[in-house]
Structure 1
């Protein structure tokens, strides 16, 4: 009697797991279809970069890349097709993952990586925001597993379920279906200018620690570019206020790595053409469209030289 009940329990459990996997498979197909059909919003831009663009010049970085690099201006001055793959709030691990996925399909001629001075400091948010890469896991397991594995050792278990890979993206899909978010080859301009401000120096937090994973990611980003014969350029974006880049451990490490690997670094921190120029900034950290076009032209001309 006990064996019979045990057998029935196993059969019921097996049926439940089978139904669960069928539902997960079905939900996964629907959610993936919704995800990869997006036409506007941050995921649509990442899809364009990973799956579609054949641009000769690709731009990577956080909001300073997304808001400061105007592809139209680069195309005019470099005579090369350009796409802005910058993503707000994302840091080196994300950019490395994007680069790894993209070069599997296409090899751009030039990659511009916009450098934030704190790129190598530990950041919990940098790990948390890697969830934006989950929908790509099925197609790019080899490229993403080492990176997402830094976020969670159970990455294969979590992302085994198809529905889980896109469960955090559905509201985003619906939001931008109802209210499209326009961009121009990945660039989203900011308009308006600052009327007044207090001139201060953005000082470095000297108590922060470097994250070895971020340091290794930068080395790997460089290595991937070199291995694929892609010209790589580091650029820092202007800020309204002066930046204390001399005492910044993270930025000094980045400069040393760039020098070691012979990567050009174009530094716009404390650039006289931008610092304290209110008419060029939307907020103290981000250029407005006028400033972005001036900056993009200057960077493009430096690359030409």
Structure 2
């Protein structure tokens, strides 16, 4: 009797697993179809960068890249195709993975990485946001497994389930089907200006004296980003975006470490922090951290002039 009940339980378990796998496969196929058919939004931009772009100039970085670098200006001034692969809120682990996936398919001539001064400090959000890479795991496992493995040691088990890879993307896809998010080769301009009457303009330098911990995974990611460019004969430039308030990064361990690595690796570093052309000029900023479209165009003019010199 016990043996019979045992066999029945096994049969039920097997049936459940078969049904579960069928449902997972079906949901996964449907959700991936929806995911890869997106035309606008952050996932559409990353997919376009990974699967389609043949641009000779590629931009990487967080919202400062996404909002400040205008491909049409690069194309007009330098005569080279350009795509902005910046992604809001993403940090070095994401950019390193994205760069490797793109370079596996096409080789740009120039890569610009917009540097945020806190790129090397530990950030839980930086690991959490790696879930944006899950839908690409099946086709880029060799690149993504080491990086996503930092997020979870069970990454292979999680990625085994097709539905899991895209389970956080469906609402995003539906949202931008209903209300498309327009971009210009990855660039999304900001409009409006800071209202000086509602803001105290800081004429003094704000010192960043951080006691945060450097995350060695981020240091390794930055080195990998550099190595990938060098192995593929891609010119690499580091750039910082202008700031509204004057800042002193001399005690910012993350920023000074990045500058040290750039110097050691002979990477051109164009630092626009504290640029007199932008400091305390509300007409050029949407908010204290982001240029508006007018500011971005002025920034592009200055940056391209420097690139021409080299």
Q: 1:168: which partner in 2?
A: 168
Q: 1:198: which partner in 2?
A: 200
Q: 1:292: which partner in 2?
A: 296
Q: 2:42: which partner in 1?
A: 42
SS at match of 2:160: coil
1:210 aligned onto 2:214: yes
1:247-266 matches, cutoff 5 A: 247-266=251-270
Deviations along 1:121-160, one digit per CA (max 9) or x if unpaired, are: 1111100100000000111110000000011111111111
Counterpart CA distance in 1 for 2:19 and 2:303 is 56
- 1:202 and 1:180, CA in 2 relative to 1: closer, same or farther beyond 3 A? farther
Q: 2:8: which partner in 1?
A: 8
Aligned CA RMSD, in angstroms, stands at 0.8
Q: 1:65: which partner in 2?
A: 65
1:119-268 matches, cutoff 5 A: 119-196=119-196, 197-200=199-202, 201-268=205-272
Q: 1:77: which partner in 2?
A: 77
Deviations along 1:7-64, one digit per CA (max 9) or x if unpaired, are: 1111111111011001100111000000000001111100110011000000000000
- 1:202 and 1:179, CA in 2 relative to 1: closer, same or farther beyond 3 A? farther
SS at match of 1:192: coil
Counterpart CA distance in 2 for 1:202 and 1:38 is 42
Counterpart CA distance in 1 for 2:10 and 2:86 is 50
Counterpart CA distance in 1 for 2:21 and 2:308 is 54
Counterpart CA distance in 2 for 1:296 and 1:74 is 8
Counterpart CA distance in 2 for 1:199 and 1:210 is 31
Checking the alignment, whether the CA contact within 8 Å between 2:40 and 2:181 is kept in structure 1 is: yes
Counterpart CA distance in 1 for 2:305 and 2:41 is 30
SS at match of 1:159: helix
Q: 1:28: which partner in 2?
A: 28
Q: 1:269: which partner in 2?
A: 273
1:83-102 matches, cutoff 5 A: 83-102=83-102
1:304 aligned onto 2:308: yes
Checking the alignment, whether the CA contact within 8 Å between 1:74 and 1:297 is kept in structure 2 is: no
Checking the alignment, whether the CA contact within 8 Å between 2:241 and 2:271 is kept in structure 1 is: yes
Counterpart CA distance in 1 for 2:2 and 2:75 is 75
Checking the alignment, whether the CA contact within 8 Å between 2:159 and 2:165 is kept in structure 1 is: yes
Moved more, 131-140 or 4-13: 4-13
SS at match of 2:243: coil
Counterpart CA distance in 1 for 2:47 and 2:290 is 25
Counterpart CA distance in 2 for 1:54 and 1:134 is 23
| Offset of residue 205 of structure 1 | 4.4
Counterpart CA distance in 2 for 1:67 and 1:160 is 35
SS at match of 2:286: strand
Alignment: residue pair count: 305
TM-score scaled by structure 1? 0.99
| Offset of residue 75 of structure 1 | 0.7
Counterpart CA distance in 2 for 1:28 and 1:278 is 47
SS at match of 2:59: strand
